[in-house]
């Protein structure tokens, strides 16, 4: 694949030379009419696939009414979606913004306002909370920091899934622990089953806030409404974005009553956050995300995870994940970025993350037939790489 030179665009994306112009369900179509199975969902965004009739109707109906007013006035759709989110999270209040990084920036501000002078937030190495300066500083990945120093102060970074390191890092200035229930950008890293429960206990014992970043894992991605619900804890703050509006820009912070009561008019805001069009899509998403759909996500995720393991691909070193969020890690003999491009050539859209890991985030509307198609294509592509490696070795000998 040759890189397309978008001369008028900033070169901050390493774009592939394919443009998708149409989507139907779990499939995408490019400018040449080629059909692709979408196992990326716009990086966990289009959870209910493309051109979903209920979502399409909700957005069309709202566009015909009003696009934008201002958060200086009441917006009833915000109230409706906020009620859905508080019911599901068992928390008290919601703030709407435009994206995941904005949600995390707001969470950082809310935590520091709550702290009344305490400001340090503990986060995990390998974590990803966004690319604006506060959330970037919270994201403990050196490769993301290069060129952007000095970082925003007030963050302590410890190894993920390491309770002892958390305890050792708490001091008189610590106000919160901010963590992902699964590290998506770091390779779909799943912590110990009791990790979040132990974090909750630490926060309770030290009067700290527990902030759960559900930007990628939330809104059904793991088979629960929120991934933290697998351990039945209650955070103080939850941040979401990505799948909440199925492709329209929307993020949100959901917080407990004790956090909400310290936030006053003028403390934070957003011009576009919670606009009626995005909220119309979000309301439709919340209506679509039923218990039956969550159970289906769990079943399909288990089928996909088991199916990959049963392929017994010799270049695979680990398969991990939860629900429809799965990482397939390969050994160094296969470059996963090249594998991803080969899958694309064969009509399957995937992604990469972490240490040589293929990231799979299929939409909730996939079926077993489409999972089988993916498994067949993955097996074929990995076998092609294996044969190419054998051929190369033979030529050297």
Sort residue 57 into left (φ over 0), alpha (ψ -120 to 50) or beta: alpha
Residues whose CB falls within 8 Å of the CB of residue 390, separated by 6 or more in sequence, listed in order: none
Concatenated DSSP letters of 286-319? HHH--HHHHHHHHHHHHHHHHHHHHHT-TTEEEE
Kindly report, residue by residue over 326-346, the tens digit of the pLDDT: 999 999 989 999 999 999 999
What token pair was written down for 310?
A: 């049963």
- Alpha carbons within 13 A on the beta-carbon side of 170: 17
Please give the C-alpha separations between residue 237 and each of 90, 266, 278, in angstroms, as whole numbers.
Answer: 11, 20, 22
Kindly report, residue by residue over 150-200, the tens digit of the pLDDT: 999 999 999 999 999 999 999 999 999 999 999 999 999 999 999 999 999
Task: Find the catalytic residue in 118, 224, 242, 296.
Answer: 242
At residue 392, the pLDDT reads 63
Residues whose CB falls within 8 Å of the CB of residue 284, separated by 6 or more in sequence, listed in order: 54, 55, 58, 59, 246
At residue 161, the pLDDT reads 98
In whole angstroms, give the CA distance from residue 134 to residue 106.
Answer: 10
Task: Find the catalytic residue in 96, 114, 118, 213.
Answer: 213
At residue 5, the pLDDT reads 60
Concatenated DSSP letters of 67-120? S---TTS--HHHHHHHHHHHHHHT--EEEEESSHHHHHHHHHHHHHHHHTT--E
Please give the C-alpha separations between residue 142 and each of 82, 138, 139, 337, 345, in angstroms, as whole numbers.
Answer: 36, 11, 9, 20, 32
Q: Is 213 a catalytic residue?
A: yes
At residue 154, the pLDDT reads 98
Task: Find the catalytic residue in 96, 128, 155, 330.
Answer: 128
At residue 269, the pLDDT reads 97
Looking at the DSSP assignment, which residues form a beta bridge with residue 155? 121
Kindly report, residue by residue over 72-82, the tens digit of the pLDDT: 999 999 999 99
What token pair was written down for 334?
A: 């296969």
Which of 112, 27, 39 minimizes the C-alpha distance to 362? 39
Please give the C-alpha separations between residue 308 and each of 245, 261, 278, 367, in angstroms, as whole numbers.
Answer: 30, 47, 35, 16
Q: Is 128 a catalytic residue?
A: yes
At residue 397, the pLDDT reads 52
What token pair was written down for 233?
A: 């804890």
In whole angstroms, give the CA distance from residue 363 to residue 361.
Answer: 7
Q: Enumerate residue ranges in the chain where pLDDT < 70.
A: 1-6, 390-397
Q: With helix as H, strand as E and coil as C, how does 39-70 read?
A: CCHHHHCCCCCECCHHHHHHHHHHHCCCCCCC
Domains and CATH numbers, the chain: 20-51+302-396 (3.90.1150.10), 53-288 (3.40.640.10)
Which helix (DSSP H) or strand (DSSP E) does residue 195 occupy? helix 195-206
């Amino acid at each position: 694949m040759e890189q397309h030179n978008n001369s008028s665009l900033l070169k901050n994306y390493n774009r592939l030379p394919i443009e998708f112009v149409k989507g139907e369900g779990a499939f995408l179509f490019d400018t040449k009419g080629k059909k692709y199975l979408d196992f990326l969902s716009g990086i966990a965004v289009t959870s209910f696939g493309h051109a979903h009739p209920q979502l399409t109707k909700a957005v069309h109906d709202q566009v015909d009414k009003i696009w934008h007013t201002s958060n200086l006035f009441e917006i009833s759709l915000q109230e409706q979606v906020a009620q859905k989110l508080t019911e599901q999270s068992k928390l008290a209040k919601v703030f709407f913004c435009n994206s995941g990084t904005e949600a995390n920036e707001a969470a950082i501000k809310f935590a520091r306002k709550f702290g009344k002078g305490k400001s340090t937030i503990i986060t995990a190495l390998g974590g990803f909370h966004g690319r604006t300066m506060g959330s970037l500083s919270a994201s403990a990945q050196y490769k993301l920091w290069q060129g952007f120093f000095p970082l925003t102060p007030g963050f302590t970074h410890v190894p993920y899934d390491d309770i002892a390191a958390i305890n050792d890092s708490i001091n008189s200035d610590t106000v919160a622990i901010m963590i992902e229930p699964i590290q998506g950008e770091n390779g779909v890293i799943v912590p110990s089953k009791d990790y979040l429960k132990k974090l909750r206990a630490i926060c309770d014992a030290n009067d700290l806030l527990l902030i759960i970043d559900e930007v990628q894992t939330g809104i059904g991605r793991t088979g629960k409404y929120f991934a933290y619900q697998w351990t039945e804890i209650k955070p103080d703050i939850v941040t979401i974005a990505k799948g909440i509006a199925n492709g329209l820009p929307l993020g949100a912070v959901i917080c407990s009553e004790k956090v909400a009561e310290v936030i006053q008019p003028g403390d934070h805001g957003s011009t576009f956050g919670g606009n009626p069009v995005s909220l119309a899509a979000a309301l439709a998403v919340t209506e679509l995300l039923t218990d039956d759909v969550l159970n289906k996500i769990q079943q399909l995720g288990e089928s996909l995870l088991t199916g990959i393991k049963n392929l017994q691909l010799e270049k695979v070193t680990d398969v991990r994940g939860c629900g429809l969020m799965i990482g397939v890690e390969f050994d160094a003999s296969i470059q996963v970025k090249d594998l991803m491009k080969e899958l694309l050539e064969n009509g399957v859209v995937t992604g990469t993350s972490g240490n040589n890991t293929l990231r799979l985030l299929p939409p909730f509307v996939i079926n077993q037939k489409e999972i089988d198609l993916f498994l067949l294509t993955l097996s074929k592509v990995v076998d092609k790489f294996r044969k190419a490696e054998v051929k190369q070795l033979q030529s050297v000998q």
